[in-house]
Amino acid sequence: MPGGPAAGAAAAGAGTGSRPPGVASPGGGGRRFSVTRSGVPPRRPAGPLRAVLFDLDGVLADTFDVWCAVLDRCRRRRGLPPLGPDRVREVWGQGLRADCETLFPGESPARLAREYEEAFVEEAGRVRPVPGAEAALLACRKAGRVTGVVTNSPAGMAEAVLRELRFRPMVDVLATGDEVLRGKPDPALLFVAVARAGVNPGEAALVGDTPLDIAAARAAGVLAVGYRVPGDITVDELARLPDRLGLPR
């Protein structure tokens, strides 16, 4: 499923300035470790909002059909039965390591990541934009905010989705699951993204559609915007995001 650290995939984006704890150097070099903080209450921005970060799967991109096909393909190779849509929804967003434990027992994260990426690129034509996603990205950029994507998926898969949807030119920074030891809900990916955006955590918001996104944002000190899930701010339609964030039109 979307996410998790994946060895061997190329890191995306270029780092700027010093890196906070838990952040690997661009390109995947150096030591990688996690930073975890729990029990952080809802919050408001500590300063002017300068960056708007988005989860990818389920927020900007409807990749559900793609993931159903990818998971079934990987399971067929191992003689395992298909999961079916209901089971896929149950494990949605849980991350690569959890997939190895629950869907592919005994498999290594590195090998599974390579299979995911290979299958995902071939199935990328099934990807569809979430309604309002393009307008939300454009509105954030028009308002002078840095835009970013923060996803547990490896870089190759994230880039394939953004290219398929023609969103890549609208995204200033990209932080992917192969750059940290642990993906969301660990906040390390958020630290990667805000460093690349050149902002402090209190000047950024993350728009996510799962409790994992909300937990990661709060642990990082980033405003948690829930897309159809509870957050510090909640939106049911991406078209309403600029107004909910108080962005100038």
Predicted confidence (pLDDT) per residue in 112-129, tens digit: 989 998 998 888 889 999
Cβ neighbours around 77 below 10 Å, total: 11
Please, which residues have CB within 8 angstroms of residue 236's CB and are 6 or more apart in sequence? 227, 228
Is 55 considered catalytic here?
yes
Q: pLDDT in tens for each of the 249 residues of the chain?
A: 654 333 223 333 333 333 233 333 333 333 233 333 334 445 555 568 999 999 999 999 999 999 999 999 999 999 999 999 999 988 887 778 889 999 999 999 889 989 998 998 888 889 999 999 999 999 999 999 999 999 988 888 899 999 999 999 999 999 998 898 888 999 999 999 999 999 999 999 999 999 999 999 999 999 999 999 999 999 999 999 999 999 987
Is 62 considered catalytic here?
no
Q: What is the pLDDT of residue 249?
A: 78
Q: What is the pLDDT of residue 2?
A: 52
Q: CA–CA distance from 132 to each of 129, 155, 168, 224 (Å)?
A: 8, 24, 16, 19
Q: Which of 57, 178, 209, 213 is catalytic?
A: 57
pTM above 0.85, yes or no: no
Please, which residues have CB within 8 angstroms of residue 235's CB and are 6 or more apart in sequence? 207, 225, 226, 227, 228, 241, 244
